[in-house]
Amino acid sequence: MSLLAFWRRYRFAALLFSLCLIAVLLFAPEANSTQPDRVNSAVVAAENSAINEKQSAIPAGGMTENVGKIVLDNGLTVLTKEVHTAPVVSVQVWYKIGSRNEEPGVNGIAHQLEHMLFKGTSDRPIQFGRLFSALGSESNAFTSYDQTAYYGTVERHKLRALLTLEADRMHNSLIDPAQLESEKRVVISELQGYENDPGYRLSRRVMQAAFPNSPYGLPVGGTKADVQKFTVDQVRQYYRKYYSPDNATLIVVGDFQTAATLQAVKEIFGNISKVSRGAEAGSTDVNLRTKADNLTQLAPVSSINQNPIVLREEGSAPLLNVVYPLPPVNHPDIPALQVMDYVLTSGRNSRLYQALVESGLTSDAGGYTSNLIGAGWYELYATAVPGEKLRKIDQTLQQAIADLQTKGVTPEELNRAQAQFVANITLGNRNITNQAIQLGDNETTAGDYRYIDKLLAAVGEVSTADVQRVAQEYLKPENSTVGYFEPTQITQGDTGTRNAGQTSEKFNLGPPVDPAEVAKYLPEIEVANTTSERGLPESLKLGNGMQVLLVSDRSTPTVSLSGNISAGRQFDPATKAGVAELTADNLINGTKTKDALTLAKVLESRGASLGFSASREGVSVSGYSLKTDLPVLIETLADVVQNATFPTDQLELSRQRGITDLKAQLDDPNYLGFRTLQQQIFPQNHPFHSYPTLESLKAITRADVVEFYQTYYRPDNTVLALVGDFDPQEVRSLLEKHFANWTASGKPPQIDFPPVAAPAKIVRLNPVLPGKTQAVTVIGNRGINRQDSRYYAALVLNQILGGDTLSSRLGTEIRDRLGLTYGIYSYFQAGKQPGLFIIDMQTAAEDANKAISSTIALLRQICTSGVTAAEVETAKRSLTSSYSVSLADPDSLTSQILMNEVYGLSREEIRNFPQKIQAVTLEQVNQVAKELLHPDNLVVVTAGPDVT
């Protein structure tokens, strides 16, 4: 399953493996991607009292004040939490089984078992992903060190159906020999995908050395060698032993009535018998007594920094990885260790950012604490900029830690770290899925769903002396395990791109899944209650032309801010490609009245955040804060978009960072594949053809950045959306006050978009990267824009074709039947301008051509034979249901209303979208397939290993 979405930012390697990406990491500090400037002024006086404001954001009874807990007669623990902010509900089942319950030889079996629980049950012998898709559920699963969890979020009237499906696979799952063999290939594909990343490989080696006698030193997903040897008896044995109600916690959070829901839970789960913990029948191949069963204390291996683990392989940049052992989750030092981590790694003002990134030694630096049932660890990482040595970076990191140990922390640092921690927890619990994950993690790992409240209180009591003490006790050099990744061949994107030729294999496609077959196994769905129509965002236009959309939502004391400025990469001159991104990255590096460090302290002291990121068509603005800090967030945004000064020293640091990042991207098959596809389809004179190069980044001057900023950063090019706990009139007054002086003359700049010709035939390209084990294939052709009248029919078509790996035709054929890929998806890049229609997948090198041939054959089948009326109706129900669920998340709602405005849609689109999907007909879908898929006019790019 795929790694946590924060993998690249936090190097949280192998902690969570999931069917899709999870956007939750409860205690990891947020790494800032923008370089800070010199300190030349003091922060605002209110900073030192920020922690008090943060603690007031927590409800008087704590985060868990209305959580209920019961234990059924069969041992199932049930947690419920009513949250009536949106008509959705999240159902999660957490099992106390993870890689902690493994040993060499069966490493990865918990992860393999997680895969198998989607393959059907004796009552429902069908891919469960299709059932979840039919419900419109945002469903997922992950395996970690201490637990495996399954979760889904649906409209509230589908709660009982989701409970029924989870109960079914708790005790009726099929572990079929043929399905296991196919799914083992899928798991190996997944593992090989992670192996493409040098950071993953280094982290795995370091963890193995740090914990050689513990299952915590094993990779969560397992190894190819072990996965290949798994037998049906082994996997069934693990299922029988660990998938039992007395080893599970059921969490229900959302819009429901507790009494009725508990009655349903007892009816649905109450008759499932708990498993005897004696020897299971058929136990012949595996010893279930693991090192974890008697784990009391981990004995780390000492690693002197002068003798680090050195991994010399192909890659793009030198990497540093350091691990220190820490105590388990319920140790009394955990609160102080959390604060210590925030002081060292969270934000621009953190010790390691200042020592490593601000000094120009590294392009990034960060870390995280992991505290589990049996042990914990503190992992730190950094990426060297060109020309810097890992030994020097390692010594600088150790000196920063030594300074903390000898000199301690300041009250200002303590207050800021505490405020950041409290704010991150509050902001991380804005949607019900995250709230349920918080409960599940606390109950299964810490043994108490109220753990988060206790931790928040304890963090508030941590003193400067506490932080210094734990740094001295746990960050001793002799206890660390240090790893260096030293590239033997620096890949810079200049490796050969080979013409892979035409695909000639012929394969017989399996039959499409009949939606009637899915419906046969779908639990009964209750009749939906009548709900009021969704309110529309309040729209206002300031005198300078800036468009603003407001949605007041009092459900949590937080605010989400999202924005779009029409200053994206499409405006890059070909010889200065990268100037849009360099401008966005440097916006917050200083203004006329505040340097970068001051700007950062104003936000970080409150746990607020503000960031800018250049995309193809615009610059994305992302901000979060507690409600009390919204004025500061707006004031800071207004300051940087009007008064950025782009200090030369910070610009140079950003350039070096950009060069390092580009080298890493060009060593990533995912990035290289998409870049090659885009540049093959869009001609050289098209704005979407341009991408940064090492040469173009070096050619950009400060004058180029200032000119770009002055030309494209205009109020009449800007749209803002805010969702959260605020009074709209007060927000309007704040905006008018702080943006009144931001004006622009003349009309906004425009650019020409030349026509894009379709490929005359299938074009195959194979950019080869050394050292990669997994191939990434992207297939594409011309697409449509968001205003295209065919857009809604195209969405329905895409849902059928590849909108969801586990329920689509592509997923059914390429993943489930053939077992060639871990994931395969299709989508339309529909923006203000036409983008591409894309299919992407990852395969072993030897499977790439077969997967490509089968994919193209399936496209031809749909173009000639069409899809069925039943498929169209199922896809429409799935799209409209999942749309309703997604809008229950404040971040998704903010983004949706923003982009509707950017794309020139009406405010009513947020309300009318489901009706537009429901109006799509079978004829429209089949016509769109013929007009948009073009199976004989595709560009096929396979990046990574040589597949010719």
Q: Are 284 and 434 in contact (CB under 8 A)?
A: no
Query: Residue 489 — very low, low, confident or very high, per pLDDT cuts 50/70/90?
Result: low
For the chain, give the mean pLDDT: 89
d(CA 265, CA 260): 9
The pLDDT assigned to 277 comes to 55
- Cα–chain center distance at 93: 21
* 3-state per-residue secondary structure call for 477-536: HHHCEEEEEEEEEECCCCCCEEECCCCCCCCCCCCCCCHHHHHHHCCCCCCCCCCCCCCC
Cβ-proximal residues to 12 (8 Å cutoff; 6+ apart), any chain: 3, 4, 6, 25, 28, 368, 370
Which tens digits make up the pLDDT trace of 649-688? 999 999 999 999 999 999 999 999 999 999 999 999 999 9
The pLDDT assigned to 490 comes to 57
The pLDDT assigned to 4 comes to 29
Under DSSP, is residue 475 helix (H, G, I), strand (E, B) or coil?
coil
Q: What angle (nearest 5°) sits at the alpha carbon of residue 935, between those of residues 930 and 940?
A: 145
Q: Which ranges in 97-139 belong to alpha helices (H)? A: 109-116, 128-135
Q: Are 775 and 848 in contact (CB under 8 A)?
A: yes
Q: What angle (nearest 5°) sits at the alpha carbon of residue 745, between those of residues 740 and 749?
A: 115
Helices 869-886, 922-932: axis angle to 10 degrees equals: 90
The pLDDT assigned to 530 comes to 58
The pLDDT assigned to 582 comes to 98
Which tens digits make up the pLDDT trace of 536-552? 999 999 999 999 999 99
Q: Token digits for 927? A: 């016509």
Q: Are 561 and 552 in contact (CB under 8 A)?
A: no
Q: Are 751 and 832 in contact (CB under 8 A)?
A: no
Closest by CA position to 579, among listed 460, 458, 703: 703
Backbone angles phi, psi at 69, to 5 degrees: -135, 130
Q: State the average pLDDT over residues 916-933.
A: 98
Which tens digits make up the pLDDT trace of 48-99? 344 444 455 666 668 898 999 999 999 999 999 999 999 999 999 999 999 9
Closest by CA position to 630, among listed 647, 646, 610: 610
**pLDDT value at 487 more than 50:** yes
For residue 390, give the amino acid letter.
L
Query: Residue 529 — very low, low, confident or very high, per pLDDT cuts 50/70/90?
Result: confident
Q: Token digits for 241? A: 């032993």
CA dihedral 866, 870, 871, 875 (to 10 degrees): 140
Backbone angles phi, psi at 895, to 5 degrees: -65, -40
Q: What is the DSSP letter of 294?
A: T
Q: Are 151 and 92 in contact (CB under 8 A)?
A: yes
The pLDDT assigned to 535 comes to 83
d(CA 35, CA 32): 8
Cβ-proximal residues to 707 (8 Å cutoff; 6+ apart), any chain: none
Q: State the average pLDDT over residues 823-845.
A: 96
**pLDDT value at 38 more than 60:** no
**pLDDT value at 893 more than 90:** yes
Provide the 10 A C-beta neighbour count for residue 554. Answer: 10
Q: Are 917 and 792 in contact (CB under 8 A)?
A: yes
**What is the percentage of the chain residues whose pLDDT exceeds 70?**
88
pTM for this one? 0.90
Query: Residue 121 — very low, low, confident or very high, per pLDDT cuts 50/70/90?
Result: very high
| DSSP code per residue over 195-239 | HT-HHHHHHHHHHHHHSTTSGGGS-TT--HHHHHH--HHHHHHHH
d(CA 716, CA 718): 6
User: Tokens 């309040």 belong to which residue?
Assistant: 538
The pLDDT assigned to 531 comes to 58
Which tens digits make up the pLDDT trace of 221-243? 999 999 999 999 999 999 999 99
Query: Residue 486 — very low, low, confident or very high, per pLDDT cuts 50/70/90?
Result: very high
The pLDDT assigned to 514 comes to 83
Cβ-proximal residues to 352 (8 Å cutoff; 6+ apart), any chain: 344, 345, 365, 366, 367, 380, 382, 397, 400
d(CA 492, CA 671): 12
Q: State the average pLDDT over residues 783-790.
A: 97
d(CA 629, CA 892): 21
d(CA 481, CA 478): 8
Backbone angles phi, psi at 520, to 5 degrees: -60, -30
The pLDDT assigned to 58 comes to 66
Cβ-proximal residues to 277 (8 Å cutoff; 6+ apart), any chain: 241
Q: What is the DSSP letter of 158?
A: G
User: Tokens 């440097």 belong to which residue?
Assistant: 586
Which tens digits make up the pLDDT trace of 368-416? 999 999 999 999 999 999 999 999 999 999 999 999 999 999 999 999 9
The pLDDT assigned to 505 comes to 52
For residue 290, give the amino acid letter.
T
